[in-house]
Amino acid sequence: MCSVDPDELTEMTRATGQLDICGGDVLCRKCGTGTAEVVLRVKDAYCRDCFLAYFVHKFRSTIGKSKQIRHGDKVLVATSGGASSAAMLHLIRQGLNETSHKQLRFEPAFLYVDESCLSENPSPGQEYIKKVCGEVTSLNFDCYVTSIEQIMSTQEMSPVLFTMEWSEEHLPKSKSLEEGMKDLLMACKSPSAKEDLAEQLRQDLIVQAAKALGYQKIFLGDNATNLSIAILGNVAIGRGSQLPGRVHFKSVHRGIEIYRPMREILQNEIQYYVEIHNLSAVQAPGFHLQGPSITSCTEDFVKSLQRDFPATIPTIFRTGDKLMSSSSEQSRRTSPEPGSGAGSCSEVCVLCGSDLDTEQGEASAVHAILISQELSQRKVGGDSKGDKSTVNGSCESSDSAKLAENSCACNGDGGCGSGGKDSKREHVLSQDQLEGYLCYGCRIIARELRNIQLLPIKVLGMAAEQERRKLMREQIQDFLL
Ligand SMILES: [Zn+2]
Ligand SMILES: [Zn+2]
């Protein structure tokens, strides 16, 4: 295996045993005078001061060199209470307190997403809200709280500001949304799809929260280790085309800018930083997969390789940095969000908000899979097609021509409830119709779902709206010049 050097290929070397600094007789390789307290890359020993200077520099330079975060920018920082979030909170507080030219000058507020309804033991959710948000507010920052099940809601619910007098009533809980969220994840047949779906919904909720609170910029706590795992994992789950948006410092998601200021820092470095500053890092209750998934296997693979070959993560990470999206960021930024009323909104996936990557040439994996599906459906005849395309008992047909007459997947007999504006059944779409508005990665999720009608109503609504527009366009096509 090789690591890519800017100029040449160099062979990746196997590490031969971690440097032992327990005796206190090893000196820092940077200053040469301080006693080593931290060992990085197996052999590189640093004293506390040199390590902290290196760590803080990595964080600030990641923000600084991009020139994207300007004086007075309002930034919503997503925090989970984990080590990466705890370190980021501390780094931001320190950076804002700084008096030199290195001072950070944006205006942060924090957001905590309560995922306790998805954990095995949902009861301690409130405890963690108090713990994580209390930590944030003790440093004089505003902290907002929302819950993961809000993604299932039809209405935009603004996150709630955490106060010292916090009690359970401050965050209204809805049993039906909680159940809807759980049912949706339970309906995923494979653990990998379940994990991917939870990830997409979490990110979308954070973006929605930023919009509701009036923030244009979001900070996420992704570190180099997570991102390296995501680079390999996302290729394996069918999201290879979305990698630049997933791992670069900046990406734009439904019109909101997402930044990853911790991306240059490795997980073990964060752990050292948390220990040195005695920060409180917690693993909040939430969605944790039981059993292996593609991502968890990728994580094991990358981490075990990293132990023997310390250049593994930097190599994967740098390679990911070089990936460019085929659609430029500019076009992404200027393209209207789904449901915003403009004609080109069909270019964005209704579930994850990424650019649609399914319009590829004949020599693509997507095309090959489509042909394979078509052939296998033909072989077994109408039965399998019927099963696949009709996902709701009230829907009799997925035939586009029929749809054009009725402007709904139902037969127009009112069975779909299309008269009621807020009715969930208004958005009854067949699997094939829905897939037309999903990216490749989300199509895999949709196929792994036992019932696509369990998806968030907003997602189904956006797809139904686009389907209606498509049919309308087809109907008036003959009258257009
Ligand atoms: Zn030193
Ligand atoms: Zn998608």
Instruction: Report how far residue 270's alpha carbon sits from residue 86's, in angstroms, rounded to the nearest whole number.
Output: 9
Give CA–CA dist 240/355, Å, rounded.
12
Domain covering 11-325 in this structure, CATH number: 3.40.50.620
Helices (H), 285-430: 294-308, 312-322, 329-334, 365-380, 382-389, 400-406
Taking 50 as the pLDDT cut, the residues of the chain under it are 1-4, 8, 328-346, 381-425
Residues, CB-to-ion distance under 5 Å, ligand 1: 28, 30-31, 34, 47, 50
């931290």: which residue's tokens?
38
Measured in Å, residue 143 CA sits from the centre of ligand 2 at 29
Residue in this structure with the two tokens 């069918």, named with its chain if needed? 238
Supply the pTM of this predicted model. 0.82
User: What is residue 191's three-state secondary structure?
Assistant: helix
| pLDDT at res. 327 | 52
| Closest ligand to Cα 38 | 1
Residues 45 and 29: beta-carbon distance below 8 Å: yes
Report the separation in Å between the CA atom of 312 and the middle of ligand 2, taken as the mean of its atom positions: 29
- Ligand in nearest proximity to the CA of 445: 2
Counting ligands in written order, the one closest to the CA of 35 is 1
User: Quick one: 101 exposed, middle or buried, by C-beta within 10 A (0-12, 13-18, 19+)?
Assistant: exposed
Both tokens assigned to 41: 């890359």
What tens digit of pLDDT does each residue of 325-371 get? 665 444 444 444 444 433 344 488 999 998 887 776 666 777 777 78
Considering every ligand atom shown, identify the ligand nearest to the alpha carbon of residue 347 and give its number.
Answer: 2
Where in the chain is CATH 3.40.50.620? 11-325
- From the CA of 196, the nearest ligand is 2
